[in-house]
Homo-oligomer: A and B are copies of this chain.
Amino acid sequence: MADSANAKPIRTALSGEDGIDLAIIELFFFAYRDFTSDPDLILAKYGFGRAHHRVLYFVNRKPGLTVAELLDVLKITKQSLARVLKQLIDSGHVTQVQGPRDRRQRELYPTARGRTLALALARPQSRRIRAALESSTSTEREGIERFLKAMVNPELRAQIDNLPGNMPGEDHGKQ
């Protein structure tokens, strides 16, 4: 029924009484939106989008990963990846090396240019995080990290731990 018969407007606001954690739902929405807006400005100068950012990020984070591994992290199809990967290779940000054991594989590495761009993209995000944590104790930081990690599907947490410097329970003594 798409008629307007029972389309009476509800005038009461949805709010926490329904046992729903609206506060964190919308904080997460706004926080993530602004978090991604920093790199977007830089990417636009190169004609790149967020898809390029994600590829560049993980290639820098785990140099030498294969196309299959990257697809697994990004959870997109190879056809989607192919488009942006081609552009990153053509622009000299990423380079491919034939797999040493299995020569069907293509190991993906950043070039110097790709490393520079990855750092430039991460910098404002890191700055935003540092500012947001400014008044936090290291205990609070741990609580935040634990929360974010617990928000990830358990099966996928392994992907995070597999990245260099992310051994489970490891201490991150930044700033």
Contact = CB atoms under 8 A, between A and B. Distances in A.
Interface residues of A, number: 92
Interface in A137-157: 140, 143-153, 156
Contacts of A64: 9, 11
30 contacts: A2-B90, A4-B92, A8-B95, A9-B63, A10-B109, A10-B115, A13-B60, A13-B164, A14-B61, A14-B110, A14-B118, A14-B119, A16-B172, A19-B126, A22-B61, A23-B145, A25-B122, A26-B61, A30-B156, A30-B159, A32-B32, A34-B156, A37-B153, A132-B147, A133-B147, A135-B146, A136-B147, A140-B147, A143-B144, A144-B147
Contact of A152 (B24, B31, B61, B62): B31
Interface of A: 1-4, 6-16, 18-35, 37, 54, 57, 60-64, 75, 90-92, 95, 97, 107, 109-115, 118-119, 122-123, 125-126, 128-136, 140, 143-153, 156, 159-160, 163-166, 172, 174-175
